[in-house]
Amino acid sequence: MTGEAVALEMRLAKFPSRALAILIDFILLFVVAFVLLLAASAVIPTLDDALAATLALVTGVFLLVGVPVMIETLTRGRSLGKLALGLRVVRDDGGPVRFRHSLTRGLAGVFIDFYATSGVGAVVCSLLNERGKRVGDLLAGTVVIRERVPAADAPLPAVPPQLAYWAQSLELSQLPNELAMAARRYLGRVHQLSPAVRDRMGSELGSEVARWVTPPPPPGTPAWAYLAAVLTERGRRESQRLAAQAATGLGGTPHTTPGAPQTPDQGEAAPPQDRAAPQDPAVPQDPAAPHPGWKRPTASPPAEPPGHGGLAPPS
């Protein structure tokens, strides 16, 4: 629920993608631990056993808890494995996680989800929870979502055959473009929405579109089918209009090649040739000078009906 009281449908991450992200994180941590062990191999034999065990414990907790918590806090919920798979940890309300959320997830994940139950608790809790939460997510109030999804432009749903003839009689000239785009986005992801959200959004958009489009749909028509019929018919008419403009040369103007001489159309008399004496080619001609055979026309005032002040009489 956002600050404007708009309920958002978050795309929850599935269990396989979450497990693969955790596996990537553990592999990277194992590589870092192996490098640190090689670096300290020359120093560890010279230390006391208690001190060596303490350093090993502190290093293990730092790698398993400190590093993931620090990375999730700085990246707002994205570890390296989650970044690779397009996942993110967010709060239950969709907001970014903070240090306390990451710390709670990290401590519960290491000491409850994996150490106390050997990972079985995390798997069982994630499979039984409807939002895929493990124990650390339940304690921290967080959830893992899919942040990166394919950007494919989904086609419109097929229009039912019984609406095809009705759609041809629609009056669509008053439909706003913004409303048509909102309906297009809804139909593009209608199969990804939960049934409750899908029906509610479809009913709201259908009622709004029905204010601008006539005639109303047949009784019992689903909202998605009504919107699909309206947008499909709108796209068909737009395609026909663009095809007609392309066939007539952008609104009926015939195509001409720049610089080509203009020839009179068939049936049109050619302009009379000037029979005046030709100009002396040695004398330069002014391009702004009038044609030798041109005569100034006598202006005649247009006929003005009496009593109308120059305005056309009302029809």
For residue 3, what pLDDT is reported?
44
**pLDDT beyond 60 at 250:** no
Would you list the DSSP string of 215-253? SPPPTT--HHHHHHHHHHHHHHHHHHHHHHHHHHTTTTP
Statement: the pTM of the whole predicted model exceeds 0.85 = no
Q: State the Cα–Cα distance between residues 84 and 281, nearest whole angstrom.
A: 82
For residue 87, what pLDDT is reported?
92
**Lowest model confidence (mean pLDDT) among 55-59, 139-143, 191-195, 277-281:** 277-281
For residue 71, what pLDDT is reported?
92
The mean per-residue pLDDT over the stretch 208-231 comes to 90
For residue 70, what pLDDT is reported?
92
Task: Enter the tokens of residue 258.
Answer: 């720049």
pLDDT band for position 263 (cuts 50, 70, 90): very low
**pLDDT beyond 90 at 101:** yes
What percent of the chain is predicted at pLDDT more than 90?
22
144 contacts: CB under 8 Å, gap ≥ 6: 12, 13, 18, 82, 87, 88, 89, 90, 132, 137
Mean pLDDT of the chain: 77
* Candidate ranges 113-127, 251-265, 275-289, 293-307; pick with highest mean pLDDT: 113-127
When comparing pLDDT for 31 and 3, which is higher?
Answer: 31
What percent of the chain is predicted at pLDDT more than 70?
74
- The predicted-structure confidence for 146-197, as pLDDT tens digits, reads as follows 887 655 556 777 888 888 888 889 999 899 998 999 998 888 888 878 888 8
Asked if residues 12 and 143 have their Cβ atoms less than 8 Å apart, the reply is yes
For residue 95, what pLDDT is reported?
86
When comparing pLDDT for 6 and 208, which is higher?
Answer: 208
